[in-house]
Amino acid sequence: MTTNAPITWVPNPRARTIAHSEAVTRNFPDGVFQHARAFHRQIPGFRASPLRSLAGLAEMIGVGGIWVKDESVRLDLNSFKVLGGSYAIYRHIKRQLGMDDAELSFEELVSEATRAKLSEVTFATATDGNHGRGVAWAAQQLKCKAVIYVHKDTSVARIRAIESYGADVHVVPGTYDDAVRLAGEEADKHGWQVISDTSWEGYEDIPRWVMQGYTTMLSEAQEQLAGTGIVKPTHVFVQAGVGALAAAVTGFYASRFGADRPTQVVVEPANADCLYRSAQIGDGEPHDVVGDLQTIMAGLACGEPSRIAWGVLWDSVDAFITSPDYVAAKGMRVYGVPLAGDPFIVSGESGAVTLGALTFIAEDPEFADLKEYLGIDRESQILLINSEGNTDPDYFRRVVWEGANSVPEDYRRDLPEA
């Protein structure tokens, strides 16, 4: 989809009729949120990422509160992705050891005794940067090899960050989806284990564990919100590529609250909108989009949805949105130049698109119908996920310092005094 409008959307009213989703139950069974968090808490240096309040901005755009789960500081890895990769590797090794129903501490997991019980393991994956970095970090902890495949438009900074954890990085001509295919082919050829956040026929357990690992940040966010007296957000906005993060977020709230879950919104790049297209077609099946998928939101530049993620999203998401790159760039600048009293947040291109989209929905009369459909008003408590920090410093400076991808004149507005 190509459009200059900041918001293009399709409603999914069927989600509001579903109190119990089989897809949610299958992917997020009882006890899995606690299990994932218990594992992560054992990692040396692990701590909850902060939940930041943008109270000043909330007042300006006319909502009750904006809460940002800031994953830019997660284990100093600049992204939430390590939560999924580490948990999936943990579950895979447990299965290899015949310990599916037994506990294995992190200390035991990385011990020489455990490594001696395993054959030589090499982990492989495709990535735009953040997932590969998380898998490389986890492999390094286990003293295992990692081979990471990136698409041709992956920045040098992201490649160097992956290599800093000892992984071998291969650049693939084509898109992220091409890198996924080559990673699978090479893993089959060499006997490596793929740790992917997207699923395909016959490959579902590891992507499911990746999604389950992501829910640790939602468990943390719920505790942090409770500390402010908020039982749950009224709205959740989450960005999407293949849909694994989005399914983790929306599945968490659908599992916890059923029909009383928050209103949930998924935001994608306009040039990589496979979930939006799938919802627009409306037959309940995931659908691919083709092309070069060019977007500054590198972490979301995916044309083929994860099938297991799509099942959760189809049952749980109230509206699917696509936005052009300037919406993400605006979000980066809003995070980086806060109103008086609001915290400064470093957010990369993929991390900021939901904030940019929210500001247009809340403030632009052109989107009053979407605002009404979502029920956004002065009582709304809205949760966003800042999924990454400054993972591409050169482009970050182009956006924040030089104003790259500026808002078109037609969609600029007079700003009130701060």
Q: CA-CA distances (angstroms) from residue 184 to 127, 162, 286, 300, 356?
A: 12, 19, 20, 20, 35
Catalytic residue, chosen from 69, 70, 81, 392, is: 81
Q: Which of 3.30.450.20, 3.40.190.80, 3.40.50.1100, 3.30.70.2740 would CATH assign to domain 82-196?
A: 3.40.50.1100
Residue 19 pLDDT exceeds 80:
yes
Across 332-340, average pLDDT: 96
The structure tokens listed for 148 are 């990471």
Distance separating alpha carbons of residues 283 and 293, to the nearest angstrom: 23
pLDDT digits (tens, 9 = 90+) for 244-300: 999 999 999 999 999 999 999 999 999 999 999 999 999 999 999 998 899 999 999
CB 312 within 8 A of CB 24: yes
Catalytic residue, chosen from 69, 100, 117, 128, is: 128
pLDDT digits (tens, 9 = 90+) for 160-196: 999 999 999 999 999 999 999 999 999 999 999 999 9
pLDDT digits (tens, 9 = 90+) for 362-407: 999 999 999 999 999 999 999 999 999 999 999 999 999 999 999 9
What DSSP state is assigned to residue 79?
A: B
Burial class from Cβ neighbours inside 10 Å (0-12, 13-18, 19+) for residue 265 reads: buried
User: What is the predicted pLDDT for the residue at 261?
Assistant: 98
Structure confidence at residue 1 as a pLDDT band (50, 70, 90)? very low
The CATH number of the structural domain formed by 8-79+210-411 is 3.40.50.1100
User: What is the predicted pLDDT for the residue at 414?
Assistant: 73
User: What is the predicted pLDDT for the residue at 413?
Assistant: 81
CB 85 within 8 A of CB 210: yes
User: What is the predicted pLDDT for the residue at 120?
Assistant: 85
Q: Which helix (H) or strand (E) holds 66?
A: strand 65-70
Give strand ranges (E) for 122-254: 122-127, 145-151, 168-172, 193-194, 235-239
No. of H helices and E strands in the chain? 18, 11
Across 345-358, average pLDDT: 97
pLDDT digits (tens, 9 = 90+) for 22-51: 999 999 999 999 999 999 999 999 999 999
Residue 100 pLDDT exceeds 70:
yes
| Residue with more model confidence, 209 or 119 | 209
Residue 223 pLDDT exceeds 70:
yes
User: pTM surpassing 0.75?
Assistant: yes
Q: Mean pLDDT score of the chain, rounded to an integer?
A: 95
Share of the chain above pLDDT 70, in %: 98
- 117 among known catalytic residues: no
User: What is the predicted pLDDT for the residue at 417?
Assistant: 63
Across 230-249, average pLDDT: 98
Share of the chain above pLDDT 90, in %: 92
What region does 10 belong to: left with phi over 0, alpha with psi -120 to 50, or beta? Answer: beta
- 81 among known catalytic residues: yes
User: What is the predicted pLDDT for the residue at 292?
Assistant: 87
Distance separating alpha carbons of residues 69 and 386, to the nearest angstrom: 6
User: What is the predicted pLDDT for the residue at 129?
Assistant: 83
* From-to residues of CATH 3.40.50.1100 in the chain: 8-79+210-411, 82-196
Burial class from Cβ neighbours inside 10 Å (0-12, 13-18, 19+) for residue 113 reads: exposed
